Amino acid sequence: MPDSGEHVIQIENLVKRFGNQTVLDGINLDVKAGETMVIMGGSGCGKSTLLRHMVGSLHPEEGKVRLFGEVLAEMSEEQLDDTRKKFGILFQSGALFQSLSVGDNVALILEEHTDLDAAIIDFMVKIKLELVDLREAAHKFPAQISGGMKKRAGLARALALDPKILFYDEPSAGLDPVTSAAIDRLIIDLTNKLGVASVVVTHEMDSAFAIADRMAMLHKGRVLMLDTREAFEHIRDWPFDRINELDENQQLIRQFLRGDAEGPLTEDATGDSSYAADLLGIDNSKLTGGRSIQTTRRVPMPGRTRGFFKRLISRTSHDSTKSGRDKQ
């Protein structure tokens, strides 16, 4: 394997188009061994598509994806199979086989990919289920367990072959806050215990900040910012009265991180509303509800937000000449 330093994933100038829609437009991203990388961005911005490139289920039009130093698109079927054994994927629903018990769902992977005998496989299944705190549920079927347990079972299965990388696509989607916090803890725990790198796609900001070592923010097919969690926290917590010291991108990132869909956007929910919805990655119709769907944590906002949103929207829209000087 060529020397790739400590990187397990390296993405260079990745471009992906579906028909005439450019979904990913020159993505550069790297993931280091043992770190948790969180990929954020509004819905439809290409997070899942990016993840699919990392696991080799999609190939880029331009650019390269390297896993463990090797270019995915240049691998033979055999190499690809070997590489796939080194990572695990947790799909949104857990994607369990309904007709198999939780334990057998994990065992199946081991039976397919190893020559271990049945007694050893049994033993390994118990270890994997214990890791996700699900040993008691080994004999239950997917239909008999809760959504959170399904995710954990999916995780046990993803861990079956002792992966070096775990991929998660919206791990807390559809879970209540308590269960989703438990999944967050599990991700942190596994990263620490097993030294596995995690790539987590999420639009849940609480989750993102709880688990990330580094974060990447996608917007319009590009990486708007790639940095440590602390750097993102710095922008999230940037005081409003010094907002002008942030550049346009940083202001946009700050708004996204704080989940500020409340108030000003509701008031502005005409004309520019679809842009605002796009900005926050939310359904346009949600803008009339005045509730944030980005985060459950409310960050108190100063009273002068209206001018800020007006400026933000007018600055970044095509027609930026007329209302850019709104007073606050």
Ligand X SMILES: Nc1ncnc2c1ncn2[C@@H]1O[C@H](COP(=O)(O)OP(=O)(O)O)[C@@H](O)[C@H]1O
- If one counts every other C-beta atom within 10 angstroms of the C-beta of residue 241, the result is 10
Q: Give the phi and the psi of residue 101 in degrees, each rounded to 5.
A: -65, 165
Q: How far is the CB of 214 from Mg ion (least distance, A)?
A: 20
| Cβ proximity to ligand X, 219 vs 310, nearer residue | 219
Residue 199 binds ligand X, judged by CB under 6 A: no
Residue 23 binds ligand X, judged by CB under 6 A: yes
Which span sits near Mg ion by CB under 5 A: 41-49, 103-111, 215-223, 312-320?
A: 41-49
Q: How far is the CB of 168 from ligand X (least distance, A)?
A: 12
Q: How far is the CB of 283 from Mg ion (least distance, A)?
A: 14
CA 240, CA 293: separation in Å to the nearest integer?
21
Determine contact, residues 323/304, Cβ cutoff 8 Å. no
Determine contact, residues 186/152, Cβ cutoff 8 Å. yes
> Which one of residues 10, 49, 101, 295 is an interface residue with ligand X (CB under 6 A)?
49
Q: Closest Cα partner for 226 from 50, 72, 61, 64?
A: 50
Q: Give the phi and the psi of residue 58 in degrees, each rounded to 5.
A: -130, 150
Q: How far is the CB of 258 from ligand X (least distance, A)?
A: 19
> Which one of residues 22, 48, 316, 328 is an interface residue with Mg ion (CB under 5 A)?
48
> Which one of residues 8, 30, 46, 308 is an interface residue with ligand X (CB under 6 A)?
46
Query: CA end-to-end span of the chain, whole Å?
Result: 57
Residue 195 binds ligand X, judged by CB under 6 A: no
CA 141, CA 85: separation in Å to the nearest integer?
25
Report helix, strand or coil for 278. Answer: helix
Buried b (16+ CB within 10 A) or exposed e, 280-314: bbbeeebbeeeebbbbeeeeeeeeebeebbbbbbb
| Cβ proximity to ligand X, 45 vs 165, nearer residue | 45
| Cβ proximity to Mg ion, 45 vs 211, nearer residue | 45
Residue 18 binds ligand X, judged by CB under 6 A: yes
Q: How far is the CB of 70 from ligand X (least distance, A)?
A: 24
Residues near Mg ion, by CB under 5 A: 48
Residues near ligand X, by CB under 6 A: 18, 23, 41, 43-49
